[in-house]
Amino acid sequence: MLLTIEGLQVKYGKHTALKITSPIVFEKGERIGVIGSNGAGKSTLVKALLGLLPYEGRVVTYLKPQQMAVHMQFNEYATTMPVRCIMETILNTKIKANKELQELISFFDFEQCLPKKYNALSGGQKQKFTIIMVMMQKAELTFYDEVTSGLDFETRQKLTEKMVKWYRDKEDTLLVVSHYYDELEQLADKILVLDQGKVVAYGKKEELFKTYCGQVIFIMDNHENNRELMKNFQMLKAPEHLLAIAGRNKGEEGEIVSILIENNVNFKRSNSDIEIMFMNAKESFYRKQEGKE
């Protein structure tokens, strides 16, 4: 057990920003994705676990502060110095003398950025710089808070792929806060769903998907013809422009596929979709709160 959260509560005045009633455990080597709408309590959770906010309850861990690292959503560095100098000053090392730092710089294709000043870097280059600085801490637990926020799709994809590749064979524990579903599909093996400061769901991606979506789902355009074709099957909560149908067993899955192919419907079959899982976990949570389940 790396870290356990017990009865954690954070308040801003009279407003409860985060309330975790059931224990949450982080194990060594896990990759935990945290997702929720704006104001759900994601960043509040990170700051509380780092001791940056006062809270009620307990955070039990053997880790010391220096064994944790954090990538915050917004970072500020000196703008008048070359990036090389900032890096060497903060890390208290010379790049030429540090093979680990050289490896990271090369891995992120950052060599050409070293002579530049920080404010001359692009958004993606600034994120690479901060990630390198975080990774150099070699922490047992690392927090990434909206690491690709504000970047274009292609840059986000490349940066996420780099992070996945870097951590693939390492035992580091990661807690990744993101509102990008595709990012969490790649980086996380467990998901913590927050909404309005409450824990909606927490568990392995595959288990949460089965709980809230079934064995498999079929996603297609949401229009009258498709709704009519699928009227005898379970419709899941989905973005308005899409129709998501649950295939609860092999027989039902085969029946759905036959109907869709027979009617020439374009569809996607998935057994892992964090966005659909997230929406249906929230739907189930609030139905239970209202006593409807």
pLDDT digits (tens, 9 = 90+) for 225-274: 999 999 999 999 999 999 999 998 999 999 999 999 999 999 999 999 99
* Total domains in the fold of the chain: 3
Domain that holds residue 32: 3-63+140-204
pLDDT of 293 strictly over 60 = no
| Tens digit of each residue's pLDDT (9 = 90 or more) over 127-155 | 999 999 999 998 999 999 998 888 889 99
Q: DSSP readout, 131-156? A: HHHHHTT--SEEEEESTTTT--HHHH
Cα angle 218-222-225, degrees, rounded to a multiple of 5? 95
Among residues 204, 222, 244, the one where a domain terminates is 204
Place of tokens 């996603």: 219
Residues 86, 34: Cα–Cα separation, whole Å: 31
Average pLDDT (202-207) is 96
H/E element holding 210? helix 205-213
Task: Judge whether 229 lies within some domain.
Answer: yes
The length of the chain is 293
The predicted pLDDT at position 74 comes to 64
Q: Among 7-11, 75-79, 284-288, which stretch is predicted with the lowest mean pLDDT?
A: 75-79
Residues 234 and 109 occupy one common structural domain: no
C-alpha torsion 93→94→99→102, nearest 10: 110
Residues 145 and 122 occupy one common structural domain: no
Confidence of residue 79 (pLDDT cuts 50, 70, 90): confident
* The overall pTM is greater than 0.85: yes
The predicted pLDDT at position 292 comes to 66
